Amino acid sequence: MARKSRNPNFDQILDLLRAHSFDVVPRGGVAGSVLVSKNGVGALLAPAQDAPAFVERPGALIGGLVSRLVDRGYQKFLATAKIELPATAAQLQAIHRFSEELKQLLGEISLYNESLGTTSDLYHYDRLKGREAEHPQPAQPWDTGAGH
């Protein structure tokens, strides 16, 4: 009797995702990559040696592109190469549900901080931007300086 593999291959994982109502569409760019989407959220996966690898982490689909979640301190934004929009609570909840379900089906570890809510891909706080240039580091007494 044939035994089931504990580590399914990439095609078996795609079949599992299809069985759980995920849309799986081939995508160009990276060889063998596919867009996995559900309820307006998607991620790009590519085959790797032992498990599928994320080409693009889960994000809301905007114009057919997977967006990145950018945290600006006061608001989260969904950004693609063409556009940046403020994220709504419904979009953040959909990204969180999609990420958790995808991790479970892929057999990945669910981290505590990620299971609490949506984590951002980038953090850009406007109050910190350029702060280093405004206040140079004061000279230390042990520095000899250029003239000595």
With cut-offs at 50, 70 and 90, classify the pLDDT of residue 47. Answer: confident
Domain range annotation of the chain: 10-125
Q: Taking 60 as the threshold, does the pLDDT of residue 44 lie above it?
A: yes
Pairing of strands 84-86, 76-79: antiparallel
Residues 22 and 37: their CA atoms lie apart, in Å, by 6
With cut-offs at 50, 70 and 90, classify the pLDDT of residue 93. Answer: very high
Q: Which of 138, 38, 133 is nearest to 94 (CA)?
A: 38
Residues 94 and 99: their CA atoms lie apart, in Å, by 8
Residues 132 and 69: their CA atoms lie apart, in Å, by 25
DSSP calls for the chain: -PPPPSS--HHHHHHHHHHTT-EEEE-SSSTT-EEEEETTEEEEEE--SSS-EEEEEEEEEETTEE-EEEE-SS-EEEE-SS-EEEPPHHHHHHHHHHHHHHHHHHT----HHHHHSPPPSEE--TTTTTHHHHSPPPPPTT---S--
Average pLDDT for 32-37: 90
pLDDT tens for each residue of 120-138: 777 776 666 666 555 566 7
Q: Taking 80 as the threshold, does the pLDDT of residue 147 lie above it?
A: no
Average pLDDT for 24-50: 87
Which pTM value belongs to this model? 0.74
